[in-house]
Amino acid sequence: MGFDSSRRNFLQAGLALPAAGFINAYHREAAVRAPAGAAYRALGKTGLKVSGVGSGVGITPDPNVIARAIDLGVNYFDTARGYGAGKSEEITGAALKGKRSKVVLASKTDARTRADVFKDMDASLKALGTDYVDIWHLHSRDTPDTITDEAVEACEMLKKQGKTRFMGVSAHDINAVVDTILKIGKFNVVQTTYSYAIGAPFRSAAISRLHNAGIGVVAMKVIIAVAGFVPREVKLPNEGPLAAIKWVLLNPAISTTVPYTKNIAELEMNVRAMTEPYTAQDEKMLFVRNQEIRPLYCRMCYECKGQCPKGVPVTDELRFLAYNDFGGNLLQAQENFRLLPKEIRDVRCSDCSSCAIHCPNGVDVRSRLIRAQTLLG
Ligand code: SF4
Ligand code: SF4
């Protein structure tokens, strides 16, 4: 079965399947137990062993959370040059003071040119208070042309200079860039979106190809769909994030996850995913949540890419909205929205009487975009 047909099947089936069926065959077989080696996993062929639960520190406001994470055995920390209005690396660096050698540290650059990649690396090292990062990602590369030769060459030079140990790419649309990543053959780590809500069937093949090529795969957006934006009448499952991380860790091709963690209580819950089994109750909870958020949460399948006659990048705008509605981070949502070209930022979906896009995943595209543009525009 080809990628497209399997994706369509999932999208159609997802609306009707019973609880036991919304997770793909691999996960069904693996359910109600934790996979062997769940706590620490190989990061591809880097030789590094990373905790299955890492830490996305982009919006972590408190160095104490990072310090506690290290105490609990978390050893993978992910940030980026631009996260937290440029403050995330500084906060991370302060928290890692004296502990740098205990962790695997990843940061990212949006830069496309050689000079800008170098400039970003120097700024990142200064902010992080370290001589090197372990992984240096080309950030948010969702089309092949964004993985520029110049940026790749710059990363190779930084590796030779010892400023990064390994090269990475982060991508929301892994299917669009997996061929390019494998063809270039220089990347050691790839970070991509993967969760029970974003869906295994249309990402698993790409993730397996990367894993089989010896590339460490880091899952992001693993808990966002169980956090935030809860209709008033629906009670948010307290342990939704825990179940969501456990679900991701059932896939042995995933090396680590980078859930965001705002406080120590959330962190202490997240790390339990490394040792606790995925249960039938987890499966049921995630199924219910998956249905609740269906009209609200874009699954980033990119099925609607290029369909808006006015050029609205639907998946991107809905992702930015999710940073606020599901992640509680208005600043991150606004910052990303502001990076869109002005002529795109100025489009208002409220000016359309109906929307050209019919999301096969059940998202109410027009009303969600109206909300995004009202809140972030
Ligand atoms: S709006 Fe729907 S079709 Fe478009 S990317 Fe999101 S889930 Fe896919
Ligand atoms: S309502 Fe639909 S067709 Fe109109 S601008 Fe928005 S996304 Fe495009």
Dist CA 300 CA 316 (whole Å): 8
Residue 30 reports pLDDT greater than 50: no
The sign one gets for the Cα dihedral 106, 54, 225, 205 is positive
Residue-level pLDDT at 282: 92
Residue-level pLDDT at 228: 63
Dist CA 64 CA 138 (whole Å): 28
**Nearest ligand to residue 348 Cα:** 2
Give the CA distances from residue 40 to residues 26, 97, 156, 184, 256, in Å, rounded to whole numbers and listed in that order.
Answer: 21, 23, 27, 28, 8
Overall fold of domain 3-292: TIM Barrel (3.20.20)
Q: HEC string of 218-249?
A: EEECCCHHHCCCCCCCCCCCCCHHHHHHHHHH
Per DSSP, the residues of 49-92 read EEESB-EE-TT---HHHHHHHHHTT--EEE--TTGGGGTHHHHH
Are the C-beta atoms of 211 and 217 separated by less than 8 Å? yes
pLDDT digits 0-9 by tens, 104-141: 999 999 999 999 999 999 999 999 999 999 999 999 99
Share of the chain above pLDDT 70, in %: 86
Residue 329 reports pLDDT greater than 90: no
Residue 16 reports pLDDT greater than 50: no
Are the C-beta atoms of 307 and 47 separated by less than 8 Å? no
Residue-level pLDDT at 43: 98
**Ligand 1 binding pocket mutation candidate from 175, 359, 370 (most atoms within 8 A of CB):** 359
Sort strands 164-171 and 189-193 into parallel, antiparallel or unpaired.
Answer: parallel
Residue 237 reports pLDDT greater than 90: no
Residue 25 reports pLDDT greater than 80: no
Higher pLDDT, 262 or 324: 324
**Nearest ligand to residue 305 Cα:** 1
pLDDT digits 0-9 by tens, 139-197: 999 999 999 999 999 999 999 999 999 999 999 999 999 999 999 999 999 999 999 99
Rg (CA), the chain: 20
Angle of the 240-249 helix axis to the 280-292 helix axis, nearest 10: 110
Distance from residue 367's CA to the centre of ligand 2 (Å): 10
Cβ-based neighbour number of residue 120 at 10 Å: 21
Higher pLDDT, 79 or 63: 79
Residue-level pLDDT at 230: 53
Instruction: Give strand pairing partners of 220.
Output: 193
Instruction: Give strand pairing partners of 219.
Output: 192, 257
Dist CA 34 CA 347 (whole Å): 47
pLDDT digits 0-9 by tens, 213-228: 999 999 999 988 777 6
Confidence of residue 232 (pLDDT cuts 50, 70, 90): very low
Distance from residue 142's CA to the centre of ligand 2 (Å): 21
Are the C-beta atoms of 107 and 58 separated by less than 8 Å? no
Pocket of ligand 1 (CB under 6 A): 298-304, 314-315, 318, 359-361, 363, 365
* Residue 106 host element (H or E): strand 104-109
Distance from residue 212's CA to the centre of ligand 1 (Å): 28
79 CB burial (10 A radius; 0-12, 13-18, 19+)? buried
Residue-level pLDDT at 229: 60
Share of the chain above pLDDT 90, in %: 67
361 CB burial (10 A radius; 0-12, 13-18, 19+)? buried
Q: Which atom of ligand 1 is nearest to the CA of 362?
A: 2
Are the C-beta atoms of 261 and 55 separated by less than 8 Å? yes
Q: What is the DSSP letter of 43?
A: -
pLDDT digits 0-9 by tens, 345-366: 999 999 999 999 999 999 999 9
Residue extents of the structural domains in the chain: 3-292, 314-376
**Nearest ligand to residue 295 Cα:** 1
Dist CA 158 CA 106 (whole Å): 14
Residue 89 reports pLDDT greater than 60: yes
Residue-level pLDDT at 20: 36
Angle at 285 between CA 284 and CA 290, to 5 degrees: 95
**Nearest ligand to residue 299 Cα:** 1
Per DSSP, the residues of 178-201 read HHHHHHH---SEEEEE--TTT-ST
Answer yes or no: pTM beyond 0.85: yes
- Residue whose CA lies nearest to ligand 1 atom number 4: 304
Instruction: Please state, rounded to an integer, the average pLDDT across all residues of the chain.
Output: 86
Q: Which atom of ligand 2 is nearest to the CA of 366?
A: 1
